């Protein structure tokens, strides 16, 4: 076979495989719809359930990358904690080994075109007659399945035709194995698909072009190579995305290093296990078993370390919002001493109040990025304060101090609500031209003057809302009059009224917080 024929067969086989994998992944994802999201969101309460859901969803959509992106999205949305998401990611590594089994048990044993071509035909018929429907998505997946196996068949034929007269340079000892690992990494990076690298390794081993040990090293390299995609995806991404990518990298590198160190013994054991399970005697079945076993072994290794890994990752890649959202005064060390705990709690509440006041002031300017950032900070800080109050040891506390706790909890809620209302108000006001209204300018002046007096560090029960309320009523009357006379559209008037009302309530919540703090301190 000529060099051009070999290169053409290799390129065509890989191309068909990647095309089929892409079609199958897209089709399965569309056919499954939101069901996969529900599985990930609901089936992660324990480590085992998270592991199982990650593996099963990856098998269903044939894309560990899609599952990784979904898991990261759920973390950012607050539906999954980072700890839960890690087990989904580890499960995805196990689920992606199913591709190896498809290649070993189907692609290397049967006359592929006997069922691949009919699959493509039936799949495209469903696709053409069910455009935009689930049936069309299933058809795309079936067609992709057929194309994928045609790619495997072409690779198998290419390697079989050249194997009799040609072998790849494999080197000797650990250095040679390490070179094959690097080849696996490079192939995965270049083709952006570890499955394609696996198919090449399986086909080469099955045809005798490379030894079983060398092919296993390529499999390890392919597993490690998938982390490059995670690194690229994490550049410029959120802190949680970077943490998930770091977990993916640590898991795959750890698993790869251990598998590499144990490679000769692991292959010997798997040869015995393959015979015990009565699997096909070809190298492809052993390699598929190797790929699955060393990923499961990686999960066993990471199991006792997962808690510390989560804590380690949470301390890394912090965004400015997360740094500010972390409590500065309350922690577990002060819980045991009630007097210290109350003092720390007061300091944290004053800090929460200052951030909330800044948020409400910003709402008058309708500046969304700062508002969204501040609301995140207040939400996280309020949750931490609430949890701290719940954990506080009331047993060693004076009765008078214990009675203050419900009041402090109420203050926390006032500030949290004020930040939410301010963000809601800004969203309504920035879509209109409220700021150009003279009545709004007067009301804003009154509001800023009032907020300056609502200092949580010097709380007072003497809070006069009269001027602020009168200015609000003037603004409301002006907006209603403009709407009635047609100078302002109905939707614009409604948006401005809703925004002003939400902002008014936000200021009132801040006033209630200061008044409650004053009574509590008194």
| Span between the terminal Cα atoms of the chain, in Å | 94
Question: What pTM was estimated for this model as a whole?
Answer: 0.56
pLDDT for the residue 201: 80
Q: Pick from 314, 341, 359: which residue ends a domain?
A: 314
Measured distance CA(161)–CA(6) in Å, rounded: 9
What would the DSSP string read from start to end of 451-489? HHH--TTS--S----HHHHHHHHHHHHHHHHHHHTTSS-
Alpha-carbon torsion angle 73, 79, 82, 83, nearest 10:
-140
- Candidates 140, 156, 68, 58; CA nearest to 99 is 58
Measured distance CA(73)–CA(85) in Å, rounded: 10
- Candidates 289, 298, 296, 295; CA nearest to 101 is 289
Q: Which domain holds residue 513?
A: 321-521
Total of domains in the chain: 2
CA 238 to chain centre: 9
Whether the Cβ atoms of residue 222 and residue 188 lie closer than 8 Å to each other: yes
pLDDT for the residue 165: 44
Measured distance CA(332)–CA(319) in Å, rounded: 23
Residues 184 and 64 in one domain: yes
pLDDT for the residue 505: 92
- Candidates 181, 257, 253; CA nearest to 213 is 181
Residues 354 and 503 in one domain: yes
Residues 121 and 89 in one domain: yes
Measured distance CA(10)–CA(78) in Å, rounded: 45
How far is the CA of 427 from the CAs of 73, 344, 423, 502, in angstroms? 23, 34, 6, 10
Question: Both tokens of residue 208?
Answer: 């005798």
CA 204 to chain centre: 36
Measured distance CA(419)–CA(496) in Å, rounded: 18
pLDDT for the residue 377: 82
Residues 343 and 446 in one domain: yes
Residues 261 and 333 in one domain: no
Vertex 494 angle, CA 488 and 498, to 5°: 135
Residues 356 and 445 in one domain: yes
Whether the Cβ atoms of residue 146 and residue 116 lie closer than 8 Å to each other: yes
Residues 250 and 113 in one domain: yes
The runs of H, that is alpha helices, within 208-319 are 212-234, 239-261, 263-276, 283-302, 306-314
Q: Pick from 264, 293, 314: which residue ends a domain?
A: 314
Q: What is the pLDDT of residues 410-468, one digit of tens each?
A: 888 999 899 888 888 887 776 555 545 788 888 888 888 888 888 887 777 777 888 88
Q: Strand (E) positions, 100-144?
A: none
CATH number of the domain encompassing residue 341: 1.20.58.220
Whether the Cβ atoms of residue 54 and residue 67 lie closer than 8 Å to each other: yes
pLDDT for the residue 164: 43
Residues 309 and 358 in one domain: no
pLDDT for the residue 17: 64
Residues 235 and 363 in one domain: no
Measured distance CA(327)–CA(339) in Å, rounded: 18
Residues 329 and 221 in one domain: no
Residues 250 and 369 in one domain: no
How many residues are given for the chain? 522
Q: Pick from 314, 347, 364: which residue ends a domain?
A: 314
Residues 155 and 227 in one domain: yes
pLDDT in single tens digits along all 522 residues of the chain: 456 666 676 677 667 766 776 676 677 666 655 555 566 556 666 788 888 877 877 776 666 666 766 676 566 545 567 777 788 888 888 887 887 777 666 655 555 556 677 778 888 888 888 776 777 877 887 787 777 667 766 666 665 554 444 444 554 567 778 888 888 888 777 666 677 777 778 777 777 778 888 888 888 888 888 777 667 656 655 667 678 778 888 888 888 888 888 888 888 888 777 777 777 667 777 888 888 888 888 889 888 888 888 888 877 776 655 667 777 777 776 776 676 778 888 888 888 888 888 888 888 775 555 667 777 788 888 888 888 888 876 555 667 777 778 888 888 899 989 988 888 888 777 655 554 578 888 888 888 888 888 888 777 777 788 888 998 898 888 888 888 888 888 888 888 888 889 889 999 998 898 888 877 665
Beta-carbon contacts of 367 under 8 Å, excluding residues fewer than 6 positions away, are 426
User: By CB neighbour count within 10 A (0-12 exposed, 13-18 middle, 19+ buried), where does 347 fall?
Assistant: middle
């Amino acid at each position: 076979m000529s060099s051009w024929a070999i290169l053409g067969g290799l390129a065509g086989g890989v191309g068909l495989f990647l095309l089929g994998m892409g079609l199958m992944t897209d089709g399965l994802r569309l056919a499954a719809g939101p069901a996969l999201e529900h599985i990930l969101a609901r089936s992660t309460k324990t480590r085992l359930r998270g592991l199982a859901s990650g593996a099963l969803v990856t098998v269903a959509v044939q894309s560990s990358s899609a599952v990784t992106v979904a898991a990261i999205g759920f973390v950012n949305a607050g539906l999954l904690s980072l700890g839960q998401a890690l087990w989904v990611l580890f499960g995805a590594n196990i689920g992606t080994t199913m591709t190896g089994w498809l290649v070993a048990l189907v692609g290397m044993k049967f006359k592929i075109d006997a069922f691949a071509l009919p699959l493509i035909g039936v799949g495209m018929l469903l696709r053409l007659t069910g455009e935009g429907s689930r049936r069309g998505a299933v058809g795309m997946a079936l067609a992709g399945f057929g194309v994928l196996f045609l790619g495997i068949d072409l690779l198998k034929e290419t390697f079989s035709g050249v194997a009799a007269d040609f072998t790849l340079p494999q080197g000797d000892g650990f250095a040679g194995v390490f070179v094959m690992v690097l080849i696996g990494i490079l192939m995965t990076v270049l083709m952006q698909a570890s499955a394609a690298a696996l198919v090449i390794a399986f086909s080469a081993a099955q045809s005798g072009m490379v030894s079983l040990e060398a092919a296993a090293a390529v499999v390890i390299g392919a597993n490690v190579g998938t982390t490059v995609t995670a690194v690229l995806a994490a550049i410029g991404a959120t802190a949680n995305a970077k943490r998930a990518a770091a977990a993916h990298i640590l898991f795959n590198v750890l698993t790869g290093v251990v598998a590499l160190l144990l490679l000769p013994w692991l292959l010997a054991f798997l040869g015995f296990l393959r015979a015990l399970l009565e699997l096909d005697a070809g190298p492809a079945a052993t390699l598929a078993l190797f790929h699955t076993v060393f990923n499961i072994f990686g999960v066993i290794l990471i199991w006792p370390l997962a808690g510390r890994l989560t804590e380690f990752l949470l301390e890394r890649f912090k965004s400015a919002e997360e740094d500010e959202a972390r409590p500065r005064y309350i922690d577990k060390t002060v819980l045991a001493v009630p007097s210290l705990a109350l003092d720390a709690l007061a300091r944290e509440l004053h800090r929460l109040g200052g951030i909330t006041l800044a948020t409400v002031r910003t709402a008058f300017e309708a500046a969304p990025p700062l508002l969204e950032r501040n609301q995140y900070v207040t939400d996280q800080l309020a949750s931490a304060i609430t949890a701290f109050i719940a954990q506080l040891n009331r047993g060693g506390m004076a009765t008078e101090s214990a009675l203050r706790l419900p009041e402090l909890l109420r203050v926390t809620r006032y500030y949290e609500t004020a930040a939410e209302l301010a963000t809601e108000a800004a969203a309504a006001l920035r879509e209109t031209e409220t700021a150009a209204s003279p009545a709004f300018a007067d009301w804003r002046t009154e509001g800023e003057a009032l907020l300056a007096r609502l200092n949580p560090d010097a709380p007072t029960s003497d809070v006069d809302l009269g001027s602020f309320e009168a200015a609000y009523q003037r603004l409301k009357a002006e907006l209603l009059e403009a709407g009635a006379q047609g100078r302002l559209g109905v939707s614009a008037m409604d948006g401005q009224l809703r925004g002003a009302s939400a902002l008014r309530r936000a200021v009132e919540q801040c006033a209630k917080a200061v008044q409650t703090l004053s009574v509590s301190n008194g």
